[in-house]
């Protein structure tokens, strides 16, 4: 079950000609695929295109009606490989994943696909996770397009442009027999807007029909001598064909006046940022009417030298707005200008910063610098000489704490890392590697566990150098952490196959939270949910045994901190040879709450007995040392200042968002912390017997307590 349901939005995907679609960019892309007669779709979830996969999953009925095949692929490589269907068959296919990590994983398939060339339109939709809030290393997918020779679309970030790019992409792909990558930046994926819909199209040839009439074309097989021919075909035929198509269909756009001393060349995705900066400089209006000519590259690869040189003609200077590094576009333009002997000055990364996101401020500053240099008379007087000094705002950089992501309230991964911290207190610090997924948050405070993440499913593999462990004469073993998502993505073969084959002595902890949780709670093979269209309920431990790993410990309640600690200790100290693997399973709390909360509320409403646990802290007992927080970091476990003049430090306090997971109590117990925690379990709709029993008990307890109270001095409760 995915984090967000798109069942309601899926209705919008049925809209026909002349209707208006209102919604998110990701949904618009899905609609565009259907309008363009796509025959099959697939992909692998991850920000920012997770929702695209979730929409497709929720739209399976519609896809079936249209005879469109949908696969939730096992990885980005599997997704890219699926495009092989378009190699021999005139079927349009689209896959999606996040870039650049997804592109890295898929690069083998993409390179083969690009070499083969395609018959049907093949579209790779890449959610570019770059800049603020990005969860990955900052790299450009652009390099892959250049090295493998496929085309890269980077449309302007509004719904009509993105929708148009989907259709253009398919057509360009077919016109040039080349796969096309459609890149959508993170904010464009989530941008909302409107566009006019068209009718959905059934694929002219469905995969079902293609299966009945298999086709093959030897020249498209990537083997010598065909692969040599394919390289020449790319350069001699496919590239010129692409250029022709881009030029004839005006995929790139020109804005602003024909004649001007300066011009701006930008990636399509940068267009809105450029316009905003020009608006702020008084050189463009709200509707994009600009006084500075703009050559907007909705196709960033290949580039058209003739279009570019026509744009430069008569201009003193042009500025290339290209986010990320290296500056591929600028270098290409520089080569073109050098070869043609152009006298126009080329600017780009000499003004813009080489690295980092082109924020509003960067864009405005850089454009202003460029214009001051080459066209100061265009700039309004107020920009040239601002007459007001901005007042000094107090510096808060030392006041405002950073707020990195962390485990959610009640997360079942928290106790695993609390246990790991406790084991390290006993056995010393260990070499710990991590993978991709929620568990990576353990590398941040308060746990500070794990120092490396080499890629999805590669956690244990990244400890391979340390695999000798104690068996290799070392004092300690290495520990690797990986999630269930990573396990099924690539981990089983690349990490655990590697460990088993090399007789690793290392310890691996598989954090099994029943979902691909970090990407939004999609099902994986070991999910416990019943999924009508996917094979779930395949235990991880069974897969491990299948590849010859025998020391496998299954933990079915990770909240048992002491138990977790003991199993970790055992794995680190046992004499058993070979990999030691712990499968730590408990359901992702976010998903669990989403599943159970409505059921619980209904049960309470209907008068059934429901136990609702929540934790609390006795503030009179808490001494304000915060040791519990250093083993937790739970959002619901916070601090509160008492209005007691005798107290210096705030005490622990649990707010109403507590879901009663039990971690606080277990940690206090396992780490011998302090006796301030209590669990209060409210019984909704208790039975009559329970109620009566409770009445007697509370009566007696109350009497005892009050009797003592009456014999001593009492003050109003000392802490408020």
Partner 1 sequence: MSVTFPPPADAGNVIKLAILAVGGQGGGVLGGWIETLARAQGYAVQATSVAGVAQRTGATIYYLEMAPAGPVAPVFSLAPAAGDVDVMIAAEMMEAGRAILRGFVTPDRTTLIASTHRALAVSEKMVPGDGIANADEVRAAAEVAARGLVLADFEAAALKAGSVISASLFGALAGSGALPFPVEAFEAAIRSSGKGVEPSLRAFAAGREAALAGNVPAPVAPLPRAPGSARGPEKLTKRWQALTDRVSTLPAAVRPMALAGLRKVVDFQDLAYGASYLDRLETAARTDHGTDNAFTIAAAKYLANAMTYDDVIRVADAKTRPERLDRIRAEMGGAEVMQLTEFTHPRAEEVVSLLPRALGQAIMDRPRLLGFIDRRVNKGRRLRTDRLLPFLQLHMLASMRSWRPRSLRHAEETAHLDRWFATALDRAPRDLALATATLQARRLVKGYSDTHARGLGKFDRVMEGIAMVEGRDDAADWARRLITSALQDEEGVALDGTLQTIRSFLA
Touching partner 1, residues 152-181 (CB under 8 A): 157-158, 160
- The conformational region for residue 548 under phi > 0 = left, psi -120 to 50 = alpha, else beta, is left
Residue 386 binds partner 1, judged by CB under 8 A: no
* Least distance CB 640 / partner 1 (angstroms): 10
Which of residues 61, 258, 389, 606 is near partner 1 by CB under 8 A? 258
- Which residues lie below 8 Å from residue 8, measured CB to CB, with a gap of 6+? none
Question: Which range of residues in 88-96, 229-237, 332-340, 645-653 is near partner 1 by CB under 8 A?
Answer: 645-653
Which of residues 19, 306, 550, 669 is near partner 1 by CB under 8 A? 669
Q: Give 150 or 447: the residue with its C-beta nearer to partner 1.
A: 447
Residue 391 binds partner 1, judged by CB under 8 A: yes
Residue 179, exposed/middle/buried by CB under 10 A (0-12, 13-18, 19+)? buried
Which of residues 284, 312, 479, 511 is near partner 1 by CB under 8 A? 284
- Which position has the token pair 């967000």? 4
Residue 626, exposed/middle/buried by CB under 10 A (0-12, 13-18, 19+)? middle
Q: DSSP string of 88-119? A: HS---EEEEEEETHHHHHHHHHHHHHHHH--S
Near partner 1 in 424-483, by CB under 8 A: 438, 441, 444-446
Site size toward partner 1 (CB under 8 A) is: 146
Near partner 1 in 681-720, by CB under 8 A: 681-684, 686, 690-691, 694, 697-698, 700-702, 704-706, 708-718, 720
First-to-last C-alpha distance (Å) of the chain? 43
Question: Which range of residues in 199-207, 327-335, 357-365, 496-504 is near partner 1 by CB under 8 A?
Answer: 357-365
Coil vs helix vs strand at 611? strand
Residue 276 binds partner 1, judged by CB under 8 A: yes
- Which residues lie below 8 Å from residue 21, measured CB to CB, with a gap of 6+? 12, 15, 27, 28, 31, 159, 194, 195, 196, 197
CA pair distance 647, 657, nearest whole angstrom: 26
Residue 625 binds partner 1, judged by CB under 8 A: yes
Nearest to 367 by CA among 257, 269, 280, 268: 280
Which of residues 107, 135, 331, 424 is near partner 1 by CB under 8 A? 135
Near partner 1 in 36-55, by CB under 8 A: 47-48
Near partner 1 in 186-225, by CB under 8 A: 186-188, 190-193
* Least distance CB 504 / partner 1 (angstroms): 29
* Least distance CB 593 / partner 1 (angstroms): 11
* Least distance CB 137 / partner 1 (angstroms): 13
Which of residues 16, 133, 376, 428 is near partner 1 by CB under 8 A? 133
Alpha carbon distances (Å) from 270 to 25, 224, 299, 469, 527: 16, 41, 12, 50, 40
Which of residues 129, 174, 330, 512 is near partner 1 by CB under 8 A? 129
- Which position has the token pair 């990999």? 579
What mask of x and - would describe binding to partner 1 in positions 583 to 622, judged by CB under 8 A? ----------------------------x--x-x-x-xx-
- Which residues lie below 8 Å from residue 547, measured CB to CB, with a gap of 6+? 492, 496, 497, 500
Question: Which range of residues in 84-92, 463-471, 597-605, 668-676 is near partner 1 by CB under 8 A?
Answer: 668-676
Check if the beta carbon of residue 53 is closer than 8 Å to that of residue 521: no
Of the CA atoms within 13 Å of residue 8, those in its CB half-sphere come to: 4
Residue 390 binds partner 1, judged by CB under 8 A: yes
Residue 314 binds partner 1, judged by CB under 8 A: no
Question: Which range of residues in 163-171, 266-274, 307-315, 568-576 is near partner 1 by CB under 8 A?
Answer: 266-274
Question: Which range of residues in 172-180, 325-333, 392-400, 534-542 is near partner 1 by CB under 8 A?
Answer: 392-400
* Least distance CB 214 / partner 1 (angstroms): 42
* Least distance CB 495 / partner 1 (angstroms): 22
* Least distance CB 706 / partner 1 (angstroms): 5
CA pair distance 483, 137, nearest whole angstrom: 19
Nearest to 305 by CA among 340, 271, 331, 347: 340
Residue 536 binds partner 1, judged by CB under 8 A: no
Question: Which range of residues in 138-146, 472-480, 564-572, 670-678 is near partner 1 by CB under 8 A?
Answer: 670-678
Residue 626 binds partner 1, judged by CB under 8 A: yes
Of the CA atoms within 13 Å of residue 334, those in its CB half-sphere come to: 11
Q: Which helix (H) or strand (E) holds 276?
A: helix 271-280
Edge-to-edge strand list for the sheet holding 551-555 = 432-433, 479-483, 507-512, 580-585, 551-555
Q: Give 236 or 382: the residue with its C-beta nearer to partner 1.
A: 382
Question: Which range of residues in 247-255, 304-312, 501-509, 534-542 is near partner 1 by CB under 8 A?
Answer: 247-255
- Which position has the token pair 């080329």? 346
Coil vs helix vs strand at 166? helix
- Which position has the token pair 């603020």? 132
* Least distance CB 184 / partner 1 (angstroms): 11
Q: How many Å is the maximal CA-CA distance in the chain?
A: 102
Nearest to 664 by CA among 414, 351, 490, 357: 414
Residue 650 binds partner 1, judged by CB under 8 A: yes
* Least distance CB 408 / partner 1 (angstroms): 6
């Amino acid at each position: 079950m995915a984090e967000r349901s798109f069942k309601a939005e899926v209705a919008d995907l049925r809209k026909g000609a002349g209707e208006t679609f209102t919604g998110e960019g990701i949904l618009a892309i899905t609609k565009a695929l259907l309008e363009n007669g796509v025959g099959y779709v697939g992909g692998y979830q991850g920000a920012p295109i997770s929702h695209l996969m979730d929409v497709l999953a929720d739209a399976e009925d519609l896809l079936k009606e249209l005879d469109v095949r949908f696969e939730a692929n096992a990885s980005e490589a599997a997704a890219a490989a699926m495009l092989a269907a378009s190699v021999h068959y005139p079927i349009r296919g689209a896959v999606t994943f996040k870039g650049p990590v997804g592109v890295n994983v898929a690069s083998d398939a993409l390179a083969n696909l690009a070499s083969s060339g395609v018959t049907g339109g093949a579209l790779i939709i890449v959610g570019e996770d770059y800049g603020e809030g990005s969860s990955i290393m900052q790299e450009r997918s652009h390099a892959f397009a250049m090295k493998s020779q496929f085309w890269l679309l980077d449309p302007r970030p509004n719904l009509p442009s993105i929708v148009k790019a989907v259709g253009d992409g398919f057509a360009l792909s077919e016109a040039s027999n080349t796969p096309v990558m459609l890149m959508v930046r993170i904010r464009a994926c989530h941008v909302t807007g409107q566009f006019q819909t068209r009718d959905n199209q059934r694929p002219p040839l469905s995969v079902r029909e293609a299966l009945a009439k298999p086709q093959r074309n030897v020249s498209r097989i990537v083997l010598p001598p065909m692969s040599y021919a394919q390289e020449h075909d790319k350069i001699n035929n496919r590239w010129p064909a692409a250029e022709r198509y881009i030029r004839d269909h005006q995929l790139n756009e020109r804005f602003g006046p024909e004649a001007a001393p300066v011009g701006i060349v930008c990636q399509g995705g940068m267009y809105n940022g450029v316009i905003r900066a020009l608006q702020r400089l008084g050189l463009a209006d709200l509707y994009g009417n600009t006084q500075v000519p703009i050559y907007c590259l909705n196709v960033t690869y290949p580039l058209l030298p003739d279009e570019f040189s026509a744009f430069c003609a008569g201009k003193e200077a042009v500025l290339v707005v290209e986010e990320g590094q290296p500056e591929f576009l600028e270098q290409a333009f520089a080569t073109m200008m050098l070869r043609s002997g152009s006298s126009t000055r080329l600017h780009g990364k000499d003004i813009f910063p080489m690295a980092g996101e082109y924020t509003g401020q960067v864009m405005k500053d850089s454009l202003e610098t460029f214009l001051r240099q080459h066209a100061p008379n265009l700039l309004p007087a107020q920009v040239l000489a601002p007459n007001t000094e901005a007042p000094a705002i107090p510096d808060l950089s030392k006041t405002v704490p950073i707020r990195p992501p962390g485990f959610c309230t009640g997360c079942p991964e928290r106790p695993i890392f609390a246990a790991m911290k406790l084991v390290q207190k006993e056995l010393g610090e260990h070499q710990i590697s991590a993978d991709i997924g929620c568990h990576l948050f353990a590398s941040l405070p308060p746990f500070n566990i794990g120092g490396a993440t080499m890629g999805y499913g590669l956690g244990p593999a990244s400890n391979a150098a340390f695999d000798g462990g104690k068996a290799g004469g070392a004092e300690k073993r290495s520990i690797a952490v990986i999630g269930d998502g990573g396990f099924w993505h690539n981990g089983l073969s690349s990490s655990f196959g590697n460990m088993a084959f090399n007789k690793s002595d290392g310890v691996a902890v598989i954090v099994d939270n029943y979902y691909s949780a970090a990407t939004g709670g999609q099902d994986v093979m070991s999910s416990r949910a019943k999924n009508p269209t996917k094979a779930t309920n395949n235990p991880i431990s069974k897969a491990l045994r299948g590849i010859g790993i025998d020391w496998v410990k299954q933990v079915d309640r990770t909240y048992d901190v002491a138990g977790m600690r003991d199993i970790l200790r055992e794995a680190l100290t046992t004499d058993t040879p070979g990999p030691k693997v712990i499968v730590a399973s408990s359901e992702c709390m976010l998903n669990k709450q989403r599943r159970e909360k409505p059921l619980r509320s209904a049960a309470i409403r209907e008068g059934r007995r429901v136990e609702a646990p929540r934790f609390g802290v006795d503030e009179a007992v808490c001494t304000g040392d915060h040791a519990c927080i250093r083993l937790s970091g739970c959002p619901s476990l916070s601090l509160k200042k008492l209005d007691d003049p005798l107290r210096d430090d705030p005490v622990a306090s649990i707010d109403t968002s507590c879901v009663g997971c039990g971690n606080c109590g277990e940690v206090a117990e396992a780490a011998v912390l302090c006796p301030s925690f209590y669990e209060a379990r409210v019984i909704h709709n208790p039975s009559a017997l329970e109620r009566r029993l409770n009445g007697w008990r509370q009566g007696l307890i109350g009497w005892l307590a009050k009797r003592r109270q009456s014999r001593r001095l009492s003050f109003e409760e000392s802490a408020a």
